[in-house]
Each structure stands twice: as structure tokens, then as C-alpha cells.
Chains A and B, each alone.
Chain A
Amino acid sequence: MSERRIVLRFPTELIDQPVISTMLERHELRFNILRAHITPDEEGLMVLGLEGTEQDLDGAMQWMRDQGVGVQPLERDVVRDEEKCTHCGACINICPTGALSMDVETREVSFDPDKCVACGLCVPVCPPRAMSVSF
């Protein structure tokens, strides 16, 4: 079994379609909605954790792409501007998953995209505004 976290972008014409449930009928996957932002007449966004065999995961992602859903790995979603980050540490206790943490020895703040669930809490908390969410 493998695990993947992905960002799905739904074009407006797909918003009222049961894309996720149809996908789950076709592929044996466990899923967890980490974040969803869907407004009528606008592009929808969903951050999804999926668990299943590589074959089912690949198949599901390909099927969603075929339906016109934008699919990309989660780590592309929240980004840190390395030039702007001053490694102060204001973000480390705001991050709920430990994706942002401080190395006790080097005093550098590291950002681990694999742990990031793209909640966006770090964005307004960062004093020099180094963190941003891109959809």
C-alpha cells in the first residue's frame, strides 16, 4: 500500500459532478479530505490524501486528469521564498503538522513539504511573508 497527497483543481463545469465518488467506485482507495474549497461558478480546490496500491493510485490520477481535473502533488501547493525567510522561527508552533520546524543546533527553520497539509496557517504568521499558498 502507498500513500499520496495531492491537490485537485476542479474547473467550474465539473463542480457539480460526483467526480470523487465515481473515482472511488472505479479504484480501491482509502481517502482523507485534508482541505476543500469549492464555490459555485468558481474553480474548486481539494487537498486529498489517498491510500492504495500504486496501480490504483496511478489509475485514479490518470482517470481524474482525463475528466479535466488538475492533479498535482501536494508539495507544490505551499511554497517558501528562500530569499525572504529570515529563519526567525515565528511559524514553528503555528504549523499543526511539524512541516515547519527549527533545528536545535543550526537554528535554521526547515520546511518539509511531505508533512505540509497546505492549511495555510503559516502564511499570515510569517513576519517577512516568506510563505505563500499557490492554487
Chain B
Amino acid sequence: MAKTYDEINEKIKAGEVVVVTAEEMVGVVAEQGAAAAAEKIDVVTTGTFSPMCSSGAFLNFGHSTPRMKLTNAWLNEVPAYAGLAAVDVYIGAAEVAKGDPLNRDFPGEFNYGGGHVIHDLIAGKDVRLRAKAYGTDCYPRRELDTWINIEDLNECYLCNPRNAYQNYNVAVNVHADRDIYTYMGVVKRDLGSANYSSAGQLSPLLNDPYYRTIGIGTRMFLGGAQGYVYWQGTQHEPTGERNDKGVPTGGAGTLATVGDMKQMDPRYVVGVSMLGYGASLALGLGTAIPILDEEMAAFCGVSDADIVAPIVDYSRDYPNNEGAPLGHVSYADLKSGAIEIKGKRVPTTPLSSYVRAKEIAEKLKGWIKAGEFFLTEPVQPLPSPEESPGFKMLNYRPIEGEQAPPTDRLRSEGDTRLREGSE
């Protein structure tokens, strides 16, 4: 028997709702079948906690006296984008502090960046705001150097163009003569590690593979607060290959999310530094999936053994858009601690915290049981596999009359210099 969003919300209000986490749902569906699970369970909660570079925040500082239209702004020396109205800025998670040696001393440490600024603001720490302007009649002030605190900001909200990748690559290093430093962590030479980053069976979009219940306007757990999906994420690509359960066998769908930083918990919004790669933000998010019918119950019953990820070489294939995956591997195998590739035992390295993903799914479950979180029907669905235009690579068009810039390749061992003339 099918259920509606309203019926589930009535149960939440009455304190009668039955909620389990996506991890618990695996057992329920395996033991009782999807039909019985759909009768018994109303909501399944998901969670994930992982570096998500395509995150950032809009901040409004309030006006100074005299007024100022910020041209350039730095928060704890991390540049924020000020090409907006007077005192609005956007700070991106992957921005690094001014003067950071970057990869000049390879591999760079990237100890402080936009993700750390966002964490510090949410943690209630004072953050130094420095700004410059060219000055106008209505905004005459040209310099500012002061402390700001989240409490004093007008608005501050995370506004993330891409979060919650449905599935993701497993990174390996086949060709380099050294360990490589990537956004997937340190990938060891000679197939020395297989790095992965997904909560697997607990991950939001792996439990709703065709985006039946998640879309624009969907309320969710974002950084410890109630946030929303505002659009499909950038690079949303639902058209790829899927397994017999409808689960994508590679990247696929993504979410663009928004939420009030003033309500967030610094535990779920953590600045991180990826050695040799850059600064980022580890973000915790989760969704509440209404079990409308047997199909949704079956989707949420998916286990780590049912979900596979592509094994991709990050030493040659990924950076140069060459080759094909070395194969696929299940999250159950990845979580066992080692997988086999080309007859070799390869230890696995997770970048995504399953412990914290589970904590988020449990927390969201608690909110729903306590009647503090209600489900929302999407205002508009995310693009489906049929509707999506697919994913484009850059169509490189040489500029007439200009010499084409060099195309850099992976540096070999011992070459720690950057290309001459580059920053």
C-alpha cells in the first residue's frame, strides 16, 4: 500500500513514525522483503561525511561607517570573492590563504583555506576581515581591517554548487614512479593503495538512485542544521551505466545545497588540507527518504555488496583523460581493507568517514522521531537519465594568433619545481 508525504508527516507529528537508517534498512529488507519493509518503515535516513571542495558560503558583513563597496576582501588572509554588492562576499572552500607556498615546496601542505574560515566562523571564532576598495561617492571608504564574528553577520549561509556525489571513483596509481598527491589523498606507487570516498550503503543518492524523492526544495541535514537542495549539483550526470538495481556504477548525480551557517555545528563542517592538492571542506549531510512504496523500500535496501565503484588510474588516465577503468569493485570489498587488482593485493584507503556518516543518519533519525524534522515533496525533480544532456568535456578551441599554452604532465620523481613562470 502506497503512502503519501502528508501521511508520513502526520505520523511524525503524532510521534508514530517508524524511522531507520539506511544501514539498518539493509537488514530489514533482506529479512522481510521490500513489500513488508514498505509497510513497516516510513522513513530511511542517510548520511555522508567527506571532503566536498565545491562548497562555500555567502556572507553579508553589514555596512561600515563610512560605507564601503568591497573590491577585494580577505578572511584570515584567505581571499573572498567580492564582485557582488557592497558588503556581500562569497568564500570558496578550496581557496587558500594569501602567501601559501602552494606546491612550490612539493607536496604543499595547504594548512589554511576557505574551508577552515567557514569552520572557524561556525565555531564562533572571531575572523579577521581585511578589505580594499577603489571608493565611490556613495561608498567612499577605501580600506577596512577589523574582526568579524558569525553573530554579527546579517546573513551567512553555505551555498554549495556540488555535494553528495552519488558514487565515485576508486583512485589507484599504476604509472607514476612515486606516490601521487591528489584530491583523493596520497595514492601510493605500484598499486600501493586504492583510495575511495563514499559512505556506500549510507550515502544519500545511492538510496534513491533515480531521484524519485529528492529534488529542488528537499529539506535535509546540512552541516548539523536543516538545509535544502536548491538545484542539481554541477556535473550532475545521471546518464551513465547502472547495475541491475538501478544503482550507478560511477559518479552520476549530485546535489547543490544551501543552509544557514548560524544553525550549524562545527563538528559537521570541518576545514581540511589535502597534501599536495589543496584546501577543502569536509561536510556532513544526510537526507530523509520517504518509503512511499515497495520500490522505495527496495532502493533503500541496497547494501555495500550491491554497489560498485570504478577503479581509475590517477597517475596517467585521470589527469590526461585517457584509458578506461581497471575494473569495478564493491564497497563491501573496499571496506574489507584490501582489494585485488591485476592479481595484486592492494590496501584500501577511505577518505570519507563512515563513523560520522552513521552519526548523521542517527541524528537525523532522532530529529524525525522527536517531531523536529518534516519531509518535503520536491518542488521539481532533478534531471533524470532521460532528460539530462549528459556530461561535456571542454571543447578546446585555440585562440587565433596566440601561441597555445603548454600542457603540463605529472612531474617525475625529484622534480619539485613548478613550470617556469607559473604561480
Interface residues of A, Cβ cutoff 8 Å to B: 86-90, 92-94, 102, 104, 106-108, 124-125, 127-129
Contact = CB atoms under 8 A, between A and B. Distances in A.
Contact of A93 (B107, B347, B352): B347
B185 A86 contact: no
B361 interface: no
Please classify how large the interface on chain B is, using the bins under 10, 10 to 19, 20 to 34, 35 or more: 20 to 34
Contacts of A108: 355
A106 B355 contact: yes
Interface stretch (B149-157, B266-274, B388-396): B266-274
A129 B111 contact: yes
A102 B350 contact: yes
A90 B356 CA distance: 14
Contacts of B352: 88
B353 A86 contact: yes
Interface string B347-365: 1111111111010000000
Nearest to A85: B353
B405 to A, nearest CB: 31
A126 to B, nearest CB: 8
B193 interface: yes
Given A102-B337, A104-B335, A127-B282, A93 B353 contact: no
20 contacts: A86-B49, A86-B355, A87-B354, A88-B282, A88-B352, A89-B353, A92-B349, A93-B188, A104-B337, A106-B355, A107-B335, A107-B353, A124-B107, A127-B185, A127-B272, A127-B274, A127-B280, A127-B282, A128-B270, A128-B272
Contacts of B280: 127
Contacts of A87: 353-356
The secondary-structure label for the interface of chain A is: loop
A108 B335 CA distance: 12
A89 B270 contact: no
Contacts of A93: 188, 192-193, 347-349
B186 interface: yes
Interface string B159-194: 000000000000000000000000001101000110
Given A127-B274, A129-B273, A90 B351 contact: yes
Q: Which of B51, B274, B352, B355 has the most CB of A within 10 A?
A: B355
Interface string B188-219: 10001100000000000000000000000000
A104 B336 CA distance: 6
Given A86-B355, A107-B358, A128-B270, 8 more contacts: A86-B270, A90-B185, A90-B349, A124-B107, A124-B109, A125-B275, A128-B282, A129-B273
Contacts of B349: 89-90, 92-93
Nearest to B111: A129
A125 B355 contact: no
B333 to A, nearest CB: 12
Top 5 A-B residue pairs of the complex, sorted by shortest distance between their CB atoms: A127-B272, A89-B350, A107-B354, A87-B355, A88-B353
B273 A88 contact: no
A107 B350 CA distance: 10
A128 B336 CA distance: 24
B350 A88 contact: yes
A86 B284 CA distance: 11
Contacts of B282: 86, 88, 127-128
Q: Which of A86, A87, A92, A107 has the most CB of B within 10 A?
A: A86
Contacts of A127: 51, 185, 272-274, 280, 282, 351
Contacts of A88: 49-50, 282, 350-353
Contacts of B193: 93
Contacts of A102: 337, 350
A107 B188 contact: no
A54 B50 CA distance: 47
A122 to B, nearest CB: 11
A88 B335 CA distance: 12
Nearest to B338: A93
Contacts of B358: 107
Interface string B313-329: 00000000000000000
B350 A94 contact: no
A59 to B, nearest CB: 42
B225 to A, nearest CB: 18
Nearest to B284: A86
Interface in B87-117: 107, 109, 111
A132 to B, nearest CB: 12
